[in-house]
Structures are given as structure tokens and as C-alpha cells.
Amino acid sequence: MRRLIHAVLTIGLLAAAVTVATAQPALAAQICEKYGSQPVQNGRYIVQNNVWGASTTQCIDTTSNGFSITQANHNNPTNGAPASYPSIFFGCHYGNCTSGSGLPVQASTSAFTGLRTSVGMTYPGSGTYNASYDLWFDPTPRTDGQNTGAEIMVWLNHQGSIQPIGSRVGSASIAGATWDVWFGNIGWNVVSYVRTSATSSLSYAVNDFYSDAINRGHAQRSWYLTSIQAGFEPWIGGTGLAVNSFSVTSGGGNPDPDPDPTGACRVNYRPTSWQNGFTAEVTVANTGTAQVNGWALNWTFASGQQVTSEWNADITQNGTAVTARNLGHNAAIPPGGSQSFGFQGTHSGSNTTPSTFSLNGTACTTG
């Protein structure tokens, strides 16, 4: 269930149970049931239809790493609640929990502060909607019912005369972009971050937005993250909206959703060095038989090398240990396919090429 706005839902609706579609295949399932859902990636994520704010028809087709809206007959007033929130999520939503997520997790722990997520989306040319993350927090580690702590919304894009709950209270610079910040309370705090320039992909640390909400007095470090959801709120139409890729990764660099999706990989590492500096182009090839959906490439520098900037990946370094994670637009690597990224760095007189790489915890060949 999405949320109560302007008293458009009754308490009975908020307490409604999520219906799980158990009779459909794991992939390429169509969901038209209002609260129907479908596990993907062996239950690591769940796709949900979630037509909570309208009686109009909505159907979605699931993929291995997302979904697309194939039918949406919505026509809700734009000064009220949206019709639905179809999404893919990680964690627990009204008792419907993904496998092995480790959520709920307290926001004061390293397990929380290390969480990152990425998404890639497609937008149609018509309709009134937002494209958004929904991050849910509760004062207790609950797995069912309505969360009562904070709802953090991250709007990548929006079309039409719609706005977040509450009023604009400021701006923030997070995840390499500028966001208008809105705040309201509808029985729980709703903090919405609206990107000032639309994007179809996003990669960020969950804690970056949550820390900003804490600093504004709208959230607490003692609360628990219960789910990470990415999808759309359509008011009018919605057909053609799609999540093409979605991932959640842990602080250790290995994606929680699927620790070994490929079985085989190959890395080509091509450095160009000069005095005390270098660049490197890295190509990660999937030589296995299954598609990679969300990747983290790990390696260790010999000594003295430090990454200073990157492109087509989000790179973190701790001492000599380095992790490169996908962005929203390049999360998928099909069998026989590859993704490339690069970075610039410094070195202290020696720029030895790393000898070993691992993709999502699986050792890769090189060359």
C-alpha cells in the first residue's frame, strides 16, 4: 500500500494485505491484479503492481530486473493522490519480503551506511506521473503494515501539474545533482527530493539522502530501513513507464541480490601512465550463460595508486582495495556482452597493473 493523502484512503485500505501472484512464472509474468506481486531473481527482488489509489485497470510485465507498464487507464485529479505505485523493491512491504535482504536494518549500523542502489528507467511521451524511489523507515524493525517513521522519496523525473506532499523547505546537493526538498506529515514524515534536472538513471548511497533528512529534523538514526523501492506514481495514463534495471549493493561491494549470477567473467584492464598519474580503461565481459543484473568489480592495487575521478561507474577505494559499481544505465551485462568504464588516478612512481579481479565475488580471467 502506498500512502494516505488528503483522506482519499480509509484506514481499512491501509491495512489491506498484499496479494502475491504465486501461479505465474518467475520471469515475464503479467500482473493485472491490484496488489499482485511477483518475485524475480529467485526472490531477491519483488515486483508489485500496487494500484492503491484508483479502481482503474493497470497491468505490468515483469522482467528479470524490473517491469514495464503495459496498460494504465488512470485519470486521477492532479491535486490529489496518484493512482498507484508500481515498483520493484528490496526488503519488506506489508509482510511481503524479499529473500536474504537483511532488512529491516537500523540506520545507525554499518550495514545501513554501506547500502547503495541504482536504477535505470524509460519514460513515455505522454501522461502525468513521477518517477521515484520510495525509502521506508520505521521506529521498530517491522516487516508488515504501515511504517510510521519517515518516507524518503527521491524523484528522478515528473511530468504534469503534480507536486510532492507538503511544501518546499529548501534545496540539497546529493549524488552529484541539485534537489528541491519538500516536507509534509500525513501520520508519518514525508521528505521528498525532487531533482531539478530530470534523469533516467541514478546511483547513490541510501545514507546520503537519509542523513540530510536527519539533519533537517525529519528522521532519526535509531529508525529502521524496511524497504528500498523504485517505480512510478501515475496520475493520468502511465503506459510505457518502465524500470529497466535495479540493484541494491552492500558496503562490501558485492550485490546482495545475486552473488554469482554469471559463473564466468573476463576483465581487460588498459592503463596509460605518465609521471605520477595515469588513466585506465576497464572492460568487464560476461562469459557465462546468465545475464548479470547489477555488478561490482573488485581489485587491489599494488601500492601508492589512488583513484581521483571516474566515468561510467561509481568507484570507492579503501586503502589498496577498490570497488567499481554499475550506474543505473549499465547495470545489465548479457551473456557474451560487456560493460566498460574508466578512471583517472595518481601513483607514486610505480603503476603496476592489478593481477586479480572479481565480479560479484566471482574470480575473473584477465586479458
Domain end position, chosen among 249, 277, 312: 249
Q: Which residue has the higher pLDDT, 34 or 9?
A: 34
Q: What is the structure's pLDDT at 180?
A: 96
* Residue 18: band (very low, low, confident or very high) from pLDDT cuts 50, 70, 90: very low
Do 187 and 274 belong to one domain? no
Total structural domains within the chain: 2
Asked if the structure places residue 201 within a domain, the reply is yes
215-254 pLDDT per residue, tens: 999 999 999 999 999 999 999 999 999 999 999 987 533 3
* Catalytic residue from among 33, 151, 281, 310: 151
Do 190 and 333 belong to one domain? no
Q: Which residue has the higher pLDDT, 293 or 182?
A: 182
Examine the pLDDT at 21 and tell me if it is beyond 70: no
Do 329 and 226 belong to one domain? no
Mean of the per-residue pLDDT values for the chain? Answer: 86
Domain end position, chosen among 249, 283, 304: 249
* Residue 28: band (very low, low, confident or very high) from pLDDT cuts 50, 70, 90: low
Do 314 and 222 belong to one domain? no
Q: What is the structure's pLDDT at 42?
A: 82
Asked if the structure places residue 1 within a domain, the reply is no
Residue 310 known to be catalytic: no
Do 17 and 86 belong to one domain? yes
- Write the DSSP assignment of 300-362 as a string of letters: E-SSS-EEEEEESSEEEEETTEEEEE--GGG-EE-TT-EEEEEEEEE-SS--PPP--EEETTE
297-339 pLDDT per residue, tens: 888 888 789 999 999 999 988 788 888 988 888 888 988 999 9
Do 162 and 308 belong to one domain? no
Residue 151 known to be catalytic: yes
Mean local confidence (pLDDT), 3-18:
34
Q: What is the structure's pLDDT at 255?
A: 38
Give percent above pLDDT 90 in the chain. Answer: 66
Domain end position, chosen among 249, 277, 295: 249
Examine the pLDDT at 140 and tell me if it is beyond 70: yes
Instruction: List CB contacts of 210: < 8 A, sequence separation 6 or more.
Output: 107, 135, 137, 152, 219, 225
Do 237 and 276 belong to one domain? no
Q: How far apart are CA 205 and CA 198, in angstroms?
A: 19
**Sign of the torsion angle spanned by Cα atoms 96, 102, 106, 110:** negative
Name the E strands within 94-159: 96-97, 105-106, 116-122, 128-138, 150-159
Mean local confidence (pLDDT), 340-353:
92
Residue 208 domain boundaries: 11-249
Examine the pLDDT at 349 and tell me if it is beyond 60: yes
Do 207 and 304 belong to one domain? no
Report the CATH number that the domain containing residue 300 is assigned in CATH: 2.60.40.290
Examine the pLDDT at 43 and tell me if it is beyond 50: yes
Do 72 and 151 belong to one domain? yes
183-202 pLDDT per residue, tens: 999 999 999 999 999 999 99
Q: Which range has the top average pLDDT, 130-139, 312-321, 344-353? A: 130-139
